[in-house]
């Protein structure tokens, strides 16, 4: 069965390594903060200028001067630091953030990502997404494998305006976890109960399936 | 101390010299760390044709959003403008031009502008609509685009405290774009919660040295919260 949003986030969090600096995008990526595996410590970067993002504040802790990149009130964890936007993006663009997780409309087999603009619809802006995909060492994209009409979002070539080129190496969808290598999607894991056939059918780009594909473990 | 005393006592003095068609760089991220009183003064002055450089454009009725009400902004340079119905309306009917700029590139444009660097290469935006028409150069086998920096006729900044010499400190994430904005204005005006005497802020804790600052004014801030989210205690 296809994974829920929470299950996608749980699978994302399994990728986190102890001592990682991680930037989580809005939506499913943010949920991954709730599933950091036991015994692992990570530090979350919020691109408005906070490294070491803590939980939401209690009513008493609410402070207008403490927000996250989604403009929500937030707290700082022990050992956090706060800095300017230029410093924040020096971390991001300089490749110092270990893992970036973000959503997308489309990803293609060349590692290109489209996530910010649908022609004909009002464009609100890219925020920090283009900086993140250009700078991060290890980018995980979370999205549904296909749109609600069943059209694949894992393409031979993106059709929408790009956010970044040749930058995505891992994708976790509601059906599968895949890696992009040599301009090809490689199937690594499948969601419990989802067949390789279904994943093949819903992947429009070139897909390589080598050997038995294990189910995700939760 | 008169020579270095940057404190002004009225908003008229703080924004004196702002004229139609000027470029104004504003600090702030969403509604966090915005110079509320300076924005209100721009509205009151009624200047128009402004190019405003800021990460966002406020919300309807607050922050930079109030400058849309009388169509004072001709062009907005920002990374994300989704929170504002009036903005959408003016954009769609052609009254407002917008130049969407990646957030890190925007911060660096201000930083470089203030540091006397006219342009810089970045990987951000290469191969995307942002890179169209821009010079591309390869370094170590990777393509980068040339991005021009930004300076403004005015920079409007919100700090927590400043001393009379204009040395500023910011509080928590209200820092955001403010330190870069402060360096990039021909005239930089800082609105603060508290003015202190020189020496009260330890020199090594100053975020923005007073050399960048022309005027300091004590403001009263509403500090509106855009998205209040809490957990139970």
pLDDT tens-place string over residues B124-159: 999 999 999 999 999 999 999 999 999 999 999 999
Cα A141 to Cα B108: distance, rounded to the nearest angstrom:
26
Chain A residues inside the 8 Å CB shell of B86: none
Cα A209 to Cα A107: distance, rounded to the nearest angstrom:
18
Say yes or no: A95 contacts chain B, CB-CB below 8 A. no
Closest CA to B154 of B181, B179, B180, B186: B186
Give the three-class secondary structure for B151. Answer: coil
User: How far A166 CA lies from chain B's nearest CA (Å)?
Assistant: 10
User: How far A213 CA lies from chain B's nearest CA (Å)?
Assistant: 34
Q: What is the CA radius of gyration of chain A?
A: 17
Whether B1 has a pLDDT exceeding 80, the answer reads no
Whether A87 has a pLDDT exceeding 80, the answer reads yes
Cα A92 to Cα B107: distance, rounded to the nearest angstrom:
12
Give the three-class secondary structure for A62. Answer: coil
| Mean confidence (pLDDT) of chain B | 96
Closest CA to A155 of A197, A115, A101, A207: A207
Tokens 């409309």 -> residue: A105
Fold classification of A5-208 is: Glutaconate Coenzyme A-transferase (3.40.1080)
Work out the average pLDDT over A210-214: 96
Whether B2 has a pLDDT exceeding 80, the answer reads no
Tell if the CB–CB gap between B231 and A161 is shorter than 8 Å: no
Q: Which residue does chain B place closest to A117, by CA atoms?
A: B129
- The predicted pLDDT at position A106 comes to 97
Chain B residues inside the 8 Å CB shell of A126: 79-80, 100, 102-103, 130
Work out the average pLDDT over A38-62: 96
Residue A11 CA to its chain's centroid (Å) = 11
Work out the average pLDDT over A21-43: 94
Q: For B102, which of A55, A76, A131 is closest by C-beta distance?
A: A131
Tell if the CB–CB gap between A84 and B207 is shorter than 8 Å: yes
Say yes or no: A110 contacts chain B, CB-CB below 8 A. no
- Could you count the other beta carbons within 10 Å of the beta carbon of residue B16? 14
Q: What are phi and psi of B13, to 5 degrees?
A: -65, -40
Q: What are B23's strand-pairing partners?
A: B51
Among residues A6, A15, A47, A197, the one annotated as catalytic is: A47
CA distances from B87 to A119, B66, B92 (A): 18, 10, 9
Size of interface A-B (CB pairs under 8 A): 173
Residues above pLDDT 90, as percent of chain B: 94
Is A106 tagged catalytic? no
With beta carbons less than 8 A apart as the criterion, state whether A154 and A107 touch: yes
Tell if the CB–CB gap between A56 and B231 is shorter than 8 Å: yes
Work out the average pLDDT over B96-100: 96
Cα A171 to Cα B58: distance, rounded to the nearest angstrom:
34
**Structural domain spans, chain A:** 5-208
Q: What is the pLDDT of residues B162-204, one digit of tens each?
A: 999 999 999 999 999 999 999 999 999 999 999 999 999 999 9
Whether A65 has a pLDDT exceeding 90, the answer reads yes
User: How far B2 CA lies from chain A's nearest CA (Å)?
Assistant: 30
Q: For B230, which of A57, A112, A117 is closest by C-beta distance?
A: A57
């Amino acid at each position: 069965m296809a994974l829920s949003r929470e299950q996608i986030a749980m699978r994302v969090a399994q990728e986190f390594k102890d001592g990682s600096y991680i930037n989580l995008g809005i939506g499913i990526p943010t949920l991954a903060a709730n599933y950091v595996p036991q015994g692992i410590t990570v530090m979350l970067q919020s691109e408005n200028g906070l490294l070491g993002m803590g939980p939401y504040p209690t009513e008493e802790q609410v402070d207008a001067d403490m927000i996250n990149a989604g403009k929500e009130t937030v707290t700082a964890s022990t050992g956090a630091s706060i800095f300017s936007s230029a410093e924040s993006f020096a971390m991001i663009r300089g490749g110092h953030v270990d893992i970036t997780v973000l959503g997308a409309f489309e990803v293609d087999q060349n590692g290109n990502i489209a996530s910010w603009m649908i022609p004909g619809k009002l464009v609100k802006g890219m925020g920090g997404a283009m900086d993140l995909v250009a700078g991060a060492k290890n980018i995980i994209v979370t999205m549904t494998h296909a749109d609600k009409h069943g059209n694949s979002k894992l393409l031979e070539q993106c059709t929408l305006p790009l956010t970044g080129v040749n930058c995505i190496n891992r994708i976790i969808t509601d059906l599968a976890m895949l890696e992009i290598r040599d301009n090809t999607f490689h199937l690594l894991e499948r969601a419990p109960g989802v067949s390789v056939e279904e994943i093949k059918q819903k992947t429009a780009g070139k897909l390589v399936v080598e050997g038995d594909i294990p189910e995700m473990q939760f | 101390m008169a020579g270095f005393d940057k404190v002004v006592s009225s908003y008229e003095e703080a924004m004196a010299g702002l004229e139609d068609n000027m470029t104004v760089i504003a600090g702030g991220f969403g509604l966090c760390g915005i110079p509320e009183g300076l924005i209100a003064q721009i509205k009151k002055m009624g200047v128009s044709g402004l190019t405003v450089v800021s990460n966002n454009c406020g919300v309807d009725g607050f922050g930079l959003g109030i400058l849309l009400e009388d169509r004072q902004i001709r062009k907005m340079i920002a990374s994300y403008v989704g929170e504002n119905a009036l903005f959408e309306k003016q954009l769609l009917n052609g009254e407002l031009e917008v130049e969407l700029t990646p957030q890190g590139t925007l911060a660096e444009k201000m930083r470089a502008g203030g540091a006397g660097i006219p342009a810089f290469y970045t990987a951000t935006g290469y191969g995307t609509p942002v890179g169209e028409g821009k010079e591309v150069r390869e370094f170590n086998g990777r393509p980068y685009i040339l991005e021009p920096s930004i300076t403004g006729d005015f920079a409007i900044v919100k700090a927590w405290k400043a001393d009379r010499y204009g040395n500023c400190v910011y509080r928590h994430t209200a820092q955001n774009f403010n330190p870069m904005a402060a360096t990039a204005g021909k005239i930089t005006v800082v609105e603060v919660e508290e003015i202190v005497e020189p020496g009260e802020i330890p020199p090594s804790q100053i975020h923005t040295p007073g050399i960048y600052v022309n005027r300091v004014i004590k403001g009263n801030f509403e500090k509106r919260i855009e998205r209040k989210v809490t957990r139970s205690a």
